[in-house]
Structure 1
Amino acid sequence: MRDELRGVRLQLELMKTELVQHDLGICSTVVIFGSTRIPEPTAAKAALAEAEQAAAQAPEDDGRARALAVAQRIAAKARYYDEARRLGQIITTVSQTNGHSEFVVVTGGGPGIMEAANRGAQDVGGKSIGLSIVLPREERPNPYVTPELSFQFHYFAVRKMHFLLRAKALVVFPGGYGTLDELFETLTLIQTKKVEPVPVLLFGREYWQRVINFEEFANEGTIAPADLELFHYVETAEEAWKAIHDFYSGADEGCGGRH
């Protein structure tokens, strides 16, 4: 952990994940991002019931009222867990037809939406990748990541590089700072032509249009109007897969390197 050896650590983090995926014949991936705080619906309902009970016992408590409002919003978004799980199933079923060389599901390896996507892959007996980050409060990778494809990173930058090295699509579910970081880095790389265009799909138009006013960037002149076409909204797992499938329809889906 000496500062002088940071370059070695960066190189090892880059090489290990690359070599393992290369040796396993993984050519391309579909990256699925989203909040760690969106649990499966049953857990969300239980948390909501607990918050309702606490608020009823002390209705004048602002903290409990806020906790109830948050629990209600999380419960409303819990459907995205099921959609992410379904999308993991759909993509992995396709991936299995080519021996898990193309369209392999990759997530950040954590709970919430990431867990759902990895879980969907496991549901259909397939493999999926988890690129976890070592954080003070971060738990171990979710149990649905394929063990030999579970990687843990110290550096966010190297981890984000691996998300995009093989990415054929990026599906972004509602999330917070980490999700936004990954989304905007991808959009920037496509905008500046540092990577080839891939489908960038924002899951849940109502959420994204409420938390980010993308159109106002163009109105202010800080992005070009054409930059609004770098992403598209989807509402269901089937719609997301159709967008990915249609983008690559008739294209060569063989292994290809990215910079």
Structure 2
Amino acid sequence: MAEDKQPHRSRFHKAKDDAHFAKQAVSTPQTQSPAYRLAFQDTEFLLREDLRPVRFQLELLKPELMLDEAKIESMLVIYGSARIPSPETAQAVLDAARTPEESRIAERLAAKAKYYEEARKLARIASQVPPDKNGCRNFVVCSGGGPSIMEAANRGADDEGKESVGLNIVLPHEQAPNRYVTPDLSFQFHYFALRKMHFLLRARAVCVFPGGFGTFDETFELLTLIQTGKIKPIPIVLFSEEFWTRVVNFGALVEEGVISARDLSLFHFVETAEEAWKIIQDFYGNVQDPN
């Protein structure tokens, strides 16, 4: 093979080459010791408490590089419950109830099944935004990668034959990304903080459906970042005014003086995907050419 004499090429072997060479090492007590492993291939070393800053950096960097390579310029982030049934499974939720209390809860969950369809519809609309002149995609659908509302978001993009992102988190109980997430854009996180950062690094708009602690955590952190000027305003749309005003007394926060009345303008209540998309369109003017 002719020697590569290109002046711009590194004269060092690539890390993957050295990793291959290391596998060919003669077996001796020295080469079998963990101390001899290449640091970047030594899982036990990388999992040490002292290496937490390195793991933070890796978890920030890996999705960032892969999203860049996929030419994803911006995302439509969809938050929401992992418990709301799809219309197809709503009856099964009702049938599974065994006590009056379980029946009341099941009825309220089943009543929210319509929002599964709205999330799916919104994702279909966003997925129709064409690539820009450089081939980069905007408003790519991104969810937490799980079931329920998250599944609906990825499913809507899949309906249009378009890719979508899923940002999963490692949990003690067994779980897997929903089957509609694009496999090459399905990421798994150890750190909640890094996962939440990736939701917002490319977020061009955030649409929030009824949800629990996780949805509240993500939503109120976003509101705080905008309220405090840490990030520029983006459209924030809350589906189901009935739900949100029942579980959060926004007016009381104003009356108690802990937020200002103008903070209530940071978000909008909607019921349908079309309403949400209109708010996004009005904010950006023309999302067909969002740059």
- Check if 1:127 corresponds to 2:163: yes
Moved more, 29-38 or 136-145: 136-145
**C-alpha distance in structure 2 between counterparts of 1:95 and 1:138, whole Å:** 37
**Counterpart amino acid of 1:147?**
P
* Equivalent position of 1:42 in the other structure: 88
* Percent of pairs with identical residues: 58
**1:98-129 CA-partner distances (Å, limit 9, x unpaired):** 75611101000000100000000000100100
**1:166-224 CA-partner distances (Å, limit 9, x unpaired):** 11111000000000000000000000111010001000110001000111111100011
User: Any conservation in 2 of the 1:30–1:169 contact (CA below 8 Å)?
Assistant: yes
Displacement of 1:24 in angstroms is 1.3
State the superposition RMSD in angstroms.
Answer: 1.5
Structure 2 residue matching 1:141: 3-state secondary structure: coil
User: Any conservation in 1 of the 2:77–2:205 contact (CA below 8 Å)?
Assistant: yes
Q: How does 1:20-39 map to 2 (within 5 A)?
A: 20-39=66-85
Moved more, 90-99 or 210-219: 90-99
User: Any conservation in 2 of the 1:39–1:112 contact (CA below 8 Å)?
Assistant: yes
- Check if 1:115 corresponds to 2:151: yes
User: Any conservation in 1 of the 2:85–2:93 contact (CA below 8 Å)?
Assistant: no
**1:73-111 CA-partner distances (Å, limit 9, x unpaired):** 111011110111111111101256775611101000000
- Check if 1:253 corresponds to 2:290: yes
Q: 2:139 aligns with which of 79, 103, 109?
A: 103
**Counterpart amino acid of 2:235?**
P
* Higher helix residue share: 1
User: Any conservation in 1 of the 2:237–2:269 contact (CA below 8 Å)?
Assistant: yes
Q: 2:110 aligns with which of 58, 67, 75?
A: 75
Q: 1:153 aligns with which of 189, 197, 200?
A: 189
**C-alpha distance in structure 1 between counterparts of 2:217 and 2:174, whole Å:** 18
Unaligned runs of 5+ in 2: 1-46
- Check if 1:6 corresponds to 2:52: yes
RCO comparison, higher one (Cα < 8 Å, 6+): 1
**1:135-178 CA-partner distances (Å, limit 9, x unpaired):** 01251111100011100000000000000001111100000000
* Equivalent position of 1:177 in the other structure: 213
- Check if 1:92 corresponds to 2:138: no
* Equivalent position of 1:205 in the other structure: 241
Displacement of 1:50 in angstroms is 3.2
User: Any conservation in 2 of the 1:107–1:114 contact (CA below 8 Å)?
Assistant: yes
Q: How does 1:220-231 map to 2 (within 5 A)?
A: 220-231=256-267
**Counterpart amino acid of 1:35?**
S
* Equivalent position of 1:58 in the other structure: none
Structure 1 residue matching 2:76: 3-state secondary structure: strand
Higher gyration radius (CA): 2
Displacement of 1:253 in angstroms is 2.5
TM-score (norm 2): 0.81
Displacement of 1:49 in angstroms is 2.5
Moved more, 223-232 or 93-102: 93-102
Structure 2 residue matching 1:93: 3-state secondary structure: coil
Structure 2 residue matching 1:132: 3-state secondary structure: strand
TM-score (norm 1): 0.90
Q: 1:65 aligns with which of 76, 86, 100?
A: 100
Moved more, 176-185 or 213-222: 213-222
Unaligned runs of 5+ in 1: 55-63, 255-259
Residues 78 and 100 of structure 1: CA distance in aligned 2, closer, same or farther (over 3 Å) = farther
**Counterpart amino acid of 1:187?**
L
